[in-house]
Amino acid sequence: MFGRSQQARPHRGHALILNYTATSYHWGCYATSVALHNALTDAGYAVMTAPVEATHAITTTPGSAEDLQSDSFQIAFETGNGLLCQMIRDCDVVVINGEGTLHRDHAGPRNLLALAYIAATRYGRQVHMVNHSCFPNGDDGVATDEVEALYRLALGACASRVAREPLTVDRYRRWGLSVEQGFDSLPAWLDTYMPRLRHKAPTDTRILIAGGVSWYEAVSEHFAKALLQLDRAASISFLGGAYRREPPEDKRTMDALKPLMPQLTYTAPASANDWLREIAGATLLVTGRFHHAVAAAALGTPFVAIASNTPKTNGVCQLLGLPAPLDPYSDSLSVQVAGAISDAMRGSGFRSSAATQAKVRAPSKVNFVWSR
């Protein structure tokens, strides 16, 4: 009757979450975004959200740092994105759920950078860029001068920046911008709704597969070849599921794998908690998805990671002292996957320790900068 907390708290105004992913992708993104929403509500804010689709739908995209700073661009941006700009003006604080959007130089990241810069400089709002990775070149290298300048300008306008892995922290430091090392906010969901959930190995061998944006047909072929070399009977299931819209690449990956692995089943949990229970109850997770790797690390489920479309998962594995993700474009991927699965099944270093599982809880809450 009294909501999530019966403790009195002050009302602090309105907060707007930009790039909200709860309704737009798999359950990991749902839990991550809702954890931010919950933290803002707990801090006394009324919360509005603009989904990640709104970021990508913007057509008034800055071409450069100079363009973004110009009055003519900002007027055009306001004209073309009236509702979004009104939402920014109507709020007291802007929280940008960066996640993996800030990579390369296409329209999506440029649009998000424009929102951050205009909210901070034109409207004078306090802007927090949280829960994010940042790879302007797509990898850990340096992008062109024009792209670097645009990223640095917009991100420099934010009141705070919280990175979810150390590679992004290193980038900010090279730019001379302050940054805090946090973690993905998914463990904050676990702490709120399932604080005691941890990995519990099943009596039979149960392997979960979670695809990713880097999984194309050849990856599926390599992957199936590796799994078919298992020296023990195992049930193998593809882990999908979402609140509203499943990632379209999941169906493509499942369709590519099924002819190669006729025994493969599809699991679509009905809630974020069910999704986490599936991961906690698996013998092994093999994943090309960032949030699935984060969930496995937080739960203690052994997992083999395959690199995503940026080095974000590499950064998390580096932070937690776990084996680096495998390269999906390697010609020897099937051999590497088979070897990693064999090592993981023997318990050779592919599982986070109890100390590491506890360690990721506090950094996930570093994202909640408005509560300090």
* 318 and 246 in a common domain: yes
Per-residue pLDDT of the chain (372 residues; tens, 9 = 90+): 445 556 677 899 999 999 999 999 999 999 999 999 999 999 999 999 999 999 999 999 999 999 999 999 999 999 999 999 999 999 999 999 999 999 999 999 999 999 999 999 999 999 999 999 999 999 999 999 999 999 999 999 999 999 999 999 999 999 999 999 999 999 999 999 999 999 999 999 999 999 887 777 778 888 888 888 887 789 999 999 999 999 988 988 899 899 999 999 999 999 999 999 999 999 999 999 999 999 999 999 999 999 999 999 999 999 999 999 999 989 899 999 999 999 999 887 899 999 999 889 999 999 999 988
* 201 and 116 in a common domain: no
- 103 domain-assigned: yes
CA distance 182 to 165: 7
Task: Give me the pLDDT at residue 106, please.
Answer: 95
- 322 domain-assigned: yes
3-state DSSP call for residue 256?
helix
H-only helix segments in the chain: 27-42, 52-57, 65-69, 71-80, 82-90, 107-117, 145-156, 166-175, 186-193, 217-227, 248-257, 272-280, 290-299, 312-320, 333-345, 354-359, 361-364
* 197 and 177 in a common domain: no
Task: Give me the pLDDT at residue 6, please.
Answer: 61
* 294 and 214 in a common domain: yes
* 207 and 162 in a common domain: no
* 127 and 18 in a common domain: yes
What is the CATH number for 66?
Answer: 3.40.50
* 202 and 306 in a common domain: yes
State which residues form the domain around 56.
13-181
Print burial letters for 259-273: b (CB count within 10 Å at least 16), e (below 16).
Answer: eebeebeeeebeebb
Task: Give me the pLDDT at residue 214, please.
Answer: 73
CA distance 65 to 114: 10
CA distance 202 to 282: 7
> In what helix (H) or strand (E) does residue 215 lie, and over which residues does it extend?
none
- 219 domain-assigned: yes
- 311 domain-assigned: yes
* 267 and 165 in a common domain: no
Alpha-carbon Rg for the chain, nearest whole angstrom, is 21
Task: Give me the pLDDT at residue 363, please.
Answer: 95
Q: Does residue 93 contact residue 13 with C-beta atoms inside 8 Å? A: yes
- 78 domain-assigned: yes
Q: What is the number of structural domains in the chain?
A: 2
Question: Among the three residues 132, 157, 181, which one is the final residue of a domain in this structure?
Answer: 181
- 3 domain-assigned: no
* 243 and 204 in a common domain: yes
- 364 domain-assigned: no
- 107 domain-assigned: yes
* 99 and 63 in a common domain: yes
Question: Among the three residues 181, 214, 248, which one is the final residue of a domain in this structure?
Answer: 181
Question: Among the three residues 133, 160, 181, which one is the final residue of a domain in this structure?
Answer: 181
Task: Give me the pLDDT at residue 213, please.
Answer: 79
What is the CATH number for 293?
Answer: 3.40.50.2000
Task: Give me the pLDDT at residue 5, please.
Answer: 53
* 276 and 238 in a common domain: yes
* 227 and 164 in a common domain: no
3-state DSSP call for residue 19?
strand
